[in-house]
Chain A
Amino acid sequence: MTPLRLTRFTAVSAVGCGLGATLASLEEQRSGLAPCAFETVDVETHVGEVPGVDSIVLPRALQSFNCRNNRLAQLGLMQDGFSEAVAASVAHWGPKRVGVFLGTSTSGILETELAYRSRVPATGALPKDFNYAATHNSFSVADFVSQALHLEGPAAVVCTACSSSAKVFASAQRMISAGLIDAAVVGGVDSLCLTTLYGFHSLQLTSRVPCRPFDVARDGISIGEAAAFVLLERPPAHLDDDAIMLLGTGESSDAYHMSSPHPEGRGARASIQQALAAAELAPGDIDYINLHGTATVSNDSAEDLAVTAVFGTHTACSSTKGATGHALGAAGALEAVICALAIQQDLMPGGLRTTKVDPKLTLHYLCENHRATVRRALSNSFGFGGANCSLIFGRAA
């Protein structure tokens, strides 16, 4: 595929608001996980909650979109000059030539959960001020971002659970390749809610302690939340050598089970191989892999088999979910931004919370930060329903 430029990128997660704070946390190996004190949730687990989300005020004209997920999106748009960079892109290409493709798993469902506690006693109706379309519906976040940034191009939300905001890169890339648009705001926004906290708990997939990806004692995920955005553009004729590029995308389906990965990582392996083929790269060209690494027993063992089948056991890998938690539908975009930082800073972030790597897992797992040239990085995202996506990022030269 023709590489695209990441003109601007930003992220808000439990480890920081914006790139500066995110990088500082990664450098200091600081985790954002803490015992769950979200809303009225009584699940014994740790979460990666973003502080201050509920004090964010949406633009006056977009008040109908007010919900935690869109407040988190707004917080993301305010970081690192992201909105200004999009405005410049719109001025350059025109509003109809800039699309928006975002991933989420639960959007603003928290509003509906809260509305069900306040049903009108006589009729059972939901409260008058509850707005399904602008909050709960999955498309809400793309509609909000598109209006906040004055975009008029194609728009959609991708909902493939935990790979949602990785797959948006592939959708945007195809639209740009087809010449329908010249630039796209891609990313993911997913926020804490009761459905996911109680839901993953019901599947016995949440850990009581902070998640330990690839650890011999790993026993489940820590749920996080994040907003991560990337402005993807058709590259200009002359690129700076240090520009970060999207080089390849790969997508596959496990066709195995709704909530468990294929035990041999069949689909994961296919998506990695497709991303390498699209980027016209060999496994040896990848310097760092940001794993999906959720810290469930089954994900990490399946991913280990997939990664080692393609790369062998020497390529440096880590999961940053011990720092950020699993941001679910925002994880793909958050980890794409972490890959972009890894390339920019020549920093391979060590996986936090992992003390003894499972001896049965043979990929080269980094528990400490490692400073080395990162020319190209691969990011894996795998979702419920067996929806896999792998992305490759790299320096322009």
Chain B
Amino acid sequence: MPAMIPLAAHIEGIGVLGPGFADWVSAAAILSQAAPYVPAATVLPPPLALPPAERRRTGPVVKLALAVGFEATTRAGIERSTLATVFSSSGGDGFNCHEICQVLASSDRQLSPTRFHNSVHNVAAGYWSIAAGATAAANVLCAYDASFGAGLLEALTQVAVERTPVLLLAYDTQYPEPLNGKRSISDAFGVALVLVPNARAGTLAKLTAMLTDSGAERMSEPRLESMRVSIPAARSLPLLSKLARRESGRVTLDYLRHVRLALEVEPCR
């Protein structure tokens, strides 16, 4: 077997948005039990970084991804235009998909061009690149319920192999009926991590990843555990909890049927 490159990266910035989580600071307070968890529907801010013409066309997926991406990069103080990105989501814009399928099932199948271009899975990556002037590589993944693990693994291999900073954005939004009856996602949740190869003054923690057969860690708070299992991007919660509590040690995240992602976490400040 060939030598493995340690799959390690340093976290420079975090962005979070979800039900009861307004940003990373409020999420960290809840996850470290400094503040109580108060359930509330996710509030998606308008994507102010986009030109007005583009802003009007964006749906919830773009608003969510841009919000967590800007939060994480602002906290990291990192230049966005040269930052490589990995986007990962378990599905696309459910409302947009519903509208398209309704039109295609009707007698008049004329689609709106905006609906069509918003239907691509990489819509958030396209708008991010425009909003951030980001011309580096952007990868866009889907691995259904394993999407957070797949995105993190892709981002970590980019950091480790290319020795380049990477912004990981994982996000999911709900589906309307009747799709919700077949694929239920409880609310919108997004997380973004700025991952860099070498520690700097502002580094939050070092992550080292490996594949494992062990089971994924659960959240002890039942409502947070319910969020973890009902939104694929919230499979990140056990990692976010460890980061919020500035604990060192191992955390295992959900990934595929045959394999999970074990992360060794070492806080840096």
Question: B109 within 8 Å of A by Cβ?
Answer: yes
Say whether B44 faces chain A, with CB atoms less than 8 Å apart.
no
Contact with A along B128-147 (1 / 0, CB 8 A): 01101111111111111011
Q: Evaluate contact between B157 and A137: CB separation under 8 angstroms.
A: no
| Complex contacts, A198 vs chain B, CB 8 Å | 104, 109-111, 116
Using an 8 Å CB-CB cutoff, how does the interface string of A91-114 with B read, 1 for contact, 0 for none? 000011000000001000100110
Contact of B141 among A159, A161, A199 (CB under 8 A): A159
> Is the CB–CB distance between A202 and B113 below 8 Å?
yes
Q: Does A142 sit within 8 A of B, measured CB to CB?
A: yes
Does B36 count as interface, using CB distance less than 8 angstroms?
A: no
The answer, yes or no, to whether B4 is at the interface (CB within 8 Å) is yes
The answer to whether B101 has its CB under 8 Å from any CB of chain A is yes
Contact flags (1/0) for A102-135 with B, using CB distance below 8 Å? Answer: 0001000100110111010001111000111100
Smallest CB gap from B132: residue in A: A255
In whole Å, how far is B84's beta carbon from the nearest beta carbon of chain A? 8
In chain B between 94 and 145, which residues have their CB closer than 8 angstroms to a CB of chain A?
A: 97, 100-102, 104-105, 109-113, 115-117, 119-123, 125-127, 129-130, 132-144
Chain A residues whose CB sits within 8 angstroms of the CB of B219 once the complex forms? none
Assembled-state Cα–Cα distance A42/B182 (Å): 29
- Tell me which residues across on chain A come within 8 A of B132, comparing CB atoms: 255
Do B178 and A124 have beta carbons less than 8 Å apart?
A: yes
- Give the interface segment out of B16-24, B64-72, B158-166, B187-195: B158-166
Residues of A within 8 A of B43 (CB): none
* Contact (A258, B161) CB under 8 Å given A112-B101, A124-B178: no
The answer to whether A154 and B2 have CB atoms under 8 Å apart is no
Q: Does A157 contact B (CB under 8 A)?
A: yes
Instruction: Name the residue of chain B whose CB is nearest to the CB of A143.
Output: B144
Given A96-B259, A138-B121, A253-B134: A116 touches B142 (CB 8 Å cut-off): no
Name the contact of B122 in the complex, choosing from A42, A131, A174, A384 (C-beta under 8 A).
A384
Give 1 or 0 for each of A157-201: 1 = CB within 8 Å of chain B CB. Answer: 111110000010011001101111010000000000011001111
Interface: B247 (CB within 8 A):
no
* Chain A, 350-375, CB within 8 A of any chain B CB: none
Q: Is the interface of A mostly helix, strand, loop or mixed?
A: mixed
Q: Does A283 contact B (CB under 8 A)?
A: no
B181 interface hit (Cβ, 8 Å):
yes
Residues of A within 8 Å of B5, CB to CB, are 177-179
Check if A155 is an interface residue, CB within 8 A of chain B: yes
Asked if A155 and B150 make an inter-chain contact with CB atoms under 8 angstroms apart, the answer reads yes
Residue pair B104, A195 in contact (C-beta under 8 Å): yes
Instruction: Choose among A157, A199, A203 the residue that contacts B142 (Cβ–Cβ < 8 A).
Output: A157
Taking CB as reference atom, which chain A residue is nearest B213? A96
Contacts of B102 in A (CB 8 A): 116
Q: CA separation between A140 and B145, bound complex, in Å?
A: 11
Give the A interface residue count (CB, 8 A): 71
Question: Do residues A154 and B259 form an inter-chain contact, with CB atoms below 8 A?
Answer: yes
Residues of chain A lying within 8 A (CB to CB) of residue B160: 178
Given A198-B111, A202-B113, A156:B259 Cβ within 8 A: no
B144 contacts which of A105, A133, A267 (Cβ < 8 Å)?
A133
Instruction: For A126, give its contact among B116, B130, B182, B211 (CB under 8 Å).
Output: B182
When distances are taken between beta carbons in the complex, the residues of chain A under 8 Å from B110 are: 198, 202
Cβ contact within 8 Å between A174 and B157: yes
Verify B183–A159 contact, CB threshold 8 A. Answer: no
Q: Does B269 contact A (CB under 8 A)?
A: no
A155 to B143, CA, bound (A): 7
Closest to A126 in B: B178
| Chain A residues whose C-beta falls within 8 Å of the C-beta of B141 in the assembled complex | 156-159
A385 touches B125 (CB 8 A): yes
Q: A178-B5, A195-B116, A252-B136 in contact; A386/B126 too (CB < 8 A)?
A: yes
- A199 to B181 Cα, complex, angstroms: 26
- Complex CA gap A267/B211 in Å reads 34
B7 at the interface (CB under 8 A from A): yes
Q: If the complex has contacts A112-B101, A119-B178, are A253 and B125 also in contact, measured as CB distance less than 8 A? A: yes
Q: B144 and A158: CB pair below 8 A?
A: no
Which residues of B46-62 are within 8 A (CB) of A? 54
Tell me how far the C-beta of B129 lies from the nearest C-beta in chain A, rounded to whole angstroms.
Answer: 4
CA distance A384 to B154 in the complex (A): 21
- List A contacts of B123 (CB < 8 A): 258, 385
Which chain B residues lie closer than 8 Å to A133 at the CB level?
Answer: 144, 183
- The answer to whether A387 touches B143 (Cβ under 8 A) is no
Assembled-state Cα–Cα distance A203/B116 (Å): 8
Contact residues in A for B134 (Cβ distance below 8 Å): 253, 255
Q: In the complex, what residues of B have CB within 8 A of residue A95's CB?
A: 258
> How far is it, in angstroms, between the C-alpha of A179 and the C-alpha of B161 when the chains are bound?
10
Q: Is B153 at the interface (CB under 8 A from chain A)?
A: yes
The residue that A113 contacts in the complex, of B105, B127, B157, B211, with Cβ under 8 A, is B105
A159 CA / B127 CA spacing, docked (Å): 15
A175 to B150, CA, bound (A): 12
Answer yes or no: A82 CB below 8 A from chain B CBs.
Answer: no
Q: Which residues of A contact B150 (CB under 8 A)?
A: 154-156
List 7 A-B pairs, minimum CB-CB distance, nearest first: A385-B126, A159-B121, A179-B4, A199-B116, A251-B137, A138-B142, A116-B105
What residues make up the interface of A, taking CB atoms closer than 8 Å to B? 42, 95-96, 105, 109, 112-113, 115-117, 119, 123-126, 130-133, 137-140, 142-143, 152-161, 167, 170-171, 174-175, 177-180, 182, 194-195, 198-203, 234, 251-259, 266-267, 270, 383-387
What would 19 more interface pairs be, CB under 8 Å, given A258-B130, A385-B126, A387-B138? A96-B259, A105-B120, A112-B101, A125-B181, A126-B179, A132-B183, A138-B91, A138-B121, A142-B143, A156-B142, A156-B154, A200-B116, A252-B135, A255-B81, A255-B132, A255-B134, A383-B122, A384-B122, A385-B138
- 8 A–B contacts, CB within 8 A, in A order: A125-B178, A132-B182, A155-B146, A159-B120, A179-B4, A198-B104, A203-B116, A254-B135
